[in-house]
Amino acid sequence: MRPLGAQVDDDGRAPHDMNDEAAREGAEVTAGEMAVNHCEKIPLGTQGATEWEVVHLPSSLGDFQARAFRSPVTGSEHLVLSVGPLQERGGLLRVHSECLTGDVFQSLRCDCGPQLQGALDLLKDEGGIVIYMRGHEGRGIGLVEKLRAYALQEAGVDTIDANLRLGHAEDERDYADAIDILCLLGVKSVRLITNNPQKRDALVAGGVEVEALVPLRIAANPHNERYLETKRKRMGHYLE
């Protein structure tokens, strides 16, 4: 059975919608304190994601160790880049959502590419891990739907309402594979490189302690000013 994670109240109660989703999926809702045992009670390598080869990856972005993981649930293949020895506690971590337009083609409509570069630069200085999450394109709606959302944004709709008009949630990303990967790597606590509090909440719900948030300060440009403002105001991202 695959766990579902959620931010819970102080008394350990999960949101009603999470309980409903768990009932539909035949899954179990556990409080954060119990969720820690997801890593501790299950032998490493059996939670979900399967680790494959570990190789040296020299690149123009830095000198990394690369690991590939395949999820038996989604079939997604994720990439982990690391610098230095893996740290059980307190190491830097970036959980980066795949963005073909931003990461590869350097789109100015988002801040994904600069965030990835900023995280890799931090790793070169301090060591740490980047988990590159496949299947997260467009906050989980896929490339085709992301471009449809872009078309709506060109007509004046913001990034959240564009998703909603297309019948999607504002954010459909799932971080269960990232939790599995961290369990497999033996990582129990991290300093999380992100501006997004939802990523922190997802890791904590999955049993990974987040010791601190390390923000990435990315300058806006005329093409993404409204997008970044929407993330700040409507999604609670830590942006100046």
Residues classed as catalytic: 171, 173
- Backbone phi, then psi, for 134, in 5-degree steps? -75, 155
CB neighbours (10 Å) of residue 63? 12
Full DSSP string of 112-124: HHHHHHHHHHHHH
Query: How far apart are alpha carbons 54 and 29 in whole angstroms?
Result: 34
Question: From residue 77, how far is each of 49, 126, 152 by CA, in Å?
Answer: 9, 26, 30
Query: How far apart are alpha carbons 85 and 65 in whole angstroms?
Result: 10
Q: Which tokens hold the place of 217?
A: 């300060």
> In 6-41, which positions are buried (b, 16+ CB within 10 angstroms) versus exposed (e)?
bebeeeeebeeebeeebeeeeeebbebeebbebbee
Query: How far apart are alpha carbons 92 and 123 in whole angstroms?
Result: 7
CB contact set of 39 (below 8 Å; sequence gap of 6+): 47, 182, 183, 188, 207
Q: Which tokens hold the place of 47?
A: 């939670």
Tell me if 120 sits within 8 A of 114, measured CB to CB.
Answer: no
